[in-house]
């Protein structure tokens, strides 16, 4: 479900956060909790896993969707539905929040900001990660979208009358759309990939450790945004 706790008022200052690759180390989560375990436990070929993951993500990721895409590619069932449900029960969703996040959210709260999480992805899967790090208990509003560049409409609906809005996001295409449409919003381009890891290496572990965040960070950004690599770089 979407969490809609309140409507913001013209008096409000709002701190809006993307989730994956901004607050949450999604590449590490996918590598250690999903990819490595699925390859090992279900004996899945690497190429088939990667192709099926990409297809499942476009549909709206869940482990069941991922399994269905694997079956289409492999032409056999690498695991049963019961096995994939058991697999999910052993996932630790809680340990991939970046360590700089909570202290800055506390500072924002202390300075009177309302907190809004605005995340791209399938609601049921995103909820597992969001609840896993306790964001369902500290955010004032949580909204999801499955539409590319879909965040601008939600931001307009929720924040157009607010006195100040800060938006932190790792997707430059989303930031450009927000900057172009809602110029009152202060935009921060978050890049969590270390500078020496931006180049693509040959080693499989190295390639996958920052796979999604590297690809997103390399997209062309057309407009000016403030840049940050941690939440500590953000001026509230």
User: Model confidence over 63-87: pLDDT tens digits?
Assistant: 999 999 999 999 999 999 999 999 9
What was the pLDDT predicted at 4?
Answer: 53
Q: pTM (2 decimals)? A: 0.94
User: Model confidence over 166-199: pLDDT tens digits?
Assistant: 999 999 999 999 999 999 999 999 999 999 888 8
Q: How much is the average pLDDT of 3-15? A: 82
pLDDT value at 98 more than 70: yes
Per CATH, the homologous superfamily of domain 3-25+97-233 is HAD superfamily/HAD-like (3.40.50.1000)
User: Going by C-beta distance under 8 Å and a sequence separation of 6 or more, which residues neighbour residue 10?
Assistant: 161, 162, 163
pLDDT-based confidence at 1, cuts 50/70/90?
A: very low
pLDDT value at 223 more than 60: yes
pLDDT-based confidence at 158, cuts 50/70/90?
A: very high
Per domain, the residue ranges of the chain are 3-25+97-233, 28-89
Pairs from 87-95 (Cβ < 8 Å, separation ≥ 24): 87/37, 87/38, 87/41, 87/63, 88/63, 91/33, 91/34, 91/128, 92/33, 92/132, 93/29, 93/33, 93/128, 93/129, 93/131, 93/132, 93/133, 94/132, 94/133, 94/134
pLDDT value at 101 more than 70: yes
Q: What mean pLDDT value characterizes the chain?
A: 94
């Amino acid at each position: 479900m979407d969490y809609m706790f309140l409507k913001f008022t013209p008096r409000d200052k709002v701190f809006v956060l993307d989730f994956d690759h901004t607050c949450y180390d999604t590449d590490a989560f996918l590598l250690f909790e999903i990819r490595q375990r699925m390859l090992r436990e279900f004996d899945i070929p690497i190429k088939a896993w990667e192709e099926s993951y990409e297809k499942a993500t476009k549909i709206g990721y869940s482990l069941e969707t991922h399994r269905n895409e694997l079956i289409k590619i492999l032409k056999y069932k690498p695991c049963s539905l019961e096995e994939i449900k058991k697999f999910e029960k052993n996932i630790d969703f809680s340990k991939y929040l970046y360590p700089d996040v909570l202290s800055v959210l506390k500072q924002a709260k202390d300075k009177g900001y309302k907190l809004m999480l605005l995340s791209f992805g399938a609601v049921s899967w995103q909820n597992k990660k969001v609840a896993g790090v306790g964001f369902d208990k500290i955010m004032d509003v949580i909204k999801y979208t499955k539409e590319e560049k879909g965040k601008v409409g939600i931001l307009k609906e929720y924040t157009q009358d607010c006195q100040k809005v800060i938006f932190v996001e790792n997707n430059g295409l989303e930031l450009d759309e927000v900057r172009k449409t809602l110029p009152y919003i202060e935009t921060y381009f978050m890049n969590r990939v270390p500078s020496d890891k931006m180049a693509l290496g040959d080693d499989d572990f190295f390639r996958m450790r920052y796979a999604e965040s590297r690809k997103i960070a390399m997209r062309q950004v057309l407009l000016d945004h403030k840049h940050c690599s941690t939440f500590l770089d953000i001026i509230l």
